[in-house]
Amino acid sequence: MASNRTFTMIKPDAFEAGNSGAILKMIEEAGFKIVAMKATKLTPELAGKFYEVHQERPFYADLCKYMSSGPIIAAILEKDNAVEDFRALIGATNPANAAEGTIRKIFAKSIEANAVHGSDSDENAAIEGSFYFSQTERVL
């Protein structure tokens, strides 16, 4: 059965551009409920840990540098079929390939600085939510 939770980050490019509010509005209007949220900043080491599945990829070092370059917003979201529906809302990794009306199509600057993260599975959504939020911060 599909889980009803996913995890997202508003990435440094979108935060810096002042697009956090507009992105959160799109997320809420698409029917997602915010069940935990905070503004924070990753160290390069923590960014490396978050994206460690990509450590063999050529873009890994740049990705860690970019993801620790400025503040982000981390949030746990709730909706039926959350993981799949949220990936549809954000659009393809490369904004050039993202569908019209998706968050990345509207706000992403490049394949790397692509405005938002969305978990790719129920299992990773749970792991990523726990990476950012302690048990007492996950009260809803």
- Characterize the bridge pairing of strands 116-118 and 33-40: unpaired
Binders of Mg ion in range 106-135 (CB under 5 A): 120
Rounded to a whole number of angstroms, the minimum distance from the CB of residue 118 to Mg ion is 7
Rounded to a whole number of angstroms, the minimum distance from the CB of residue 25 to Mg ion is 23
Q: Which residue is nearest to Mg ion (CB)?
A: 120
Binding mask 86-115 for ligand ATP (x = CB under 6 A): -------x-----------------xx-x-
DSSP for 58-100, written as a single string = TTHHHHHHHHTSS-EEEEEEE-TTHHHHHHHHH--SSGGGSPT
Binders of ligand ATP in range 28-67 (CB under 6 A): 54, 59, 63
Query: Across the beta sheet with 33-40, what order do the strands follow?
Result: 33-40, 72-78, 5-10, 116-118
Binders of Mg ion in range 4-63 (CB under 5 A): none
Which of 32, 117, 125, 132 is the catalytic position? 117
* Residues designated as active site: 117
